[in-house]
Structure 1
Amino acid sequence: MPIEVKNELGKIQVMNEVIATLAGSAALECYGLVGMASRNQFKDGIAELLGRENLRRGVEVRHEKDRTEIDLYIIVSYGTKISVVAQNVQAKVKYVMNEVIGLQVNTVNIFVQGVRVA
């Protein structure tokens, strides 16, 4: 279901896949993040690290009435403080969604799926 953004010129419909890709790209710019993890798949208890072409597989976008929520499944770098990395990712994703699309995101949930030694 696409998000509809209204402005003085008319309406813009943005598909969830576009929002997921933008959110994943914004998250990858944060220090301490190794990459995105698949939200559906574990292999032997180890999260699958996604490449740049599959970023949206690690992001889930939900719309409920006037609320937008984004879930990010990430893998962090060993030696970084997980809570700080998660807070930075949340802030960056909210900022990018507001600036690029004009979409107010109510909640950005972070699910740390693993830690990788770089």
Structure 2
Amino acid sequence: MTIEMKTRYGNIDVSKEVVAVIAGGAAVDCYGIVGMASQKQLKDGITDLLGRENLGRGVVIREQESGELHIDMYIIVGYGTKISEVAHNVQSKVKYQLKQMLGLKVESVNIFIQGVRVINP
């Protein structure tokens, strides 16, 4: 499935996987994020075994028929961080990165905290 954009130069099709990787990369850069929670255990387990990082893990892209774009993100936060601030920062950064890189207007970024981990100092 792709997201279609029309410009004066022609059409651009961006796969939802690309959008998920950009959103995941933006989220992982935020303070307080330990990682993304996996939605597909077997596939991501093999990716981790091979030593490749999957930034799209834990990101679900939904496009409405009206063209609205919604993103669900499943994240793991560090112990001792203020979860509401971390979630707000992730929402802001993901919206900003997708607007800057792809020109996409994101209607909503829904954050689902899947776990809390202790970060070693």
Q: TM-score range by the shorter chain?
A: 0.7 to 0.9
Cα RMSD (Å) of the superposition?
1.7
Q: What does the per-residue CA deviation read over 1:55-77, in whole Å, with 9 as the maximum and x for residues that have no partner? A: 21210001112111001000000
Q: Which runs of 5+ in 2 are unaligned?
A: none
Counterpart in the other structure of 2:22:
22
Question: Where does 1:1-118 land on structure 2 (aligned, <5 Å)?
Answer: 1-41=1-41, 53-65=53-65, 66-118=67-119
Distance across 1 between alignment mates of 2:53 and 2:14: 19
State the 4+ residue runs in structure 1 displaced beyond 3 angstroms: none
- After TM superposition, the score normalised by the length of structure 2 is 0.86
Distance across 1 between alignment mates of 2:116 and 2:55: 18
Report how far residue 7 of structure 1 moved.
Answer: 1.4
Aligned length: 111
Of Structure 1 and Structure 2, which has the larger fraction of its residues in strand? 1
- Secondary structure in 2 aligned to 1:30? coil
- Identity, % of aligned positions: 58
Distance across 2 between alignment mates of 1:57 and 1:34: 13
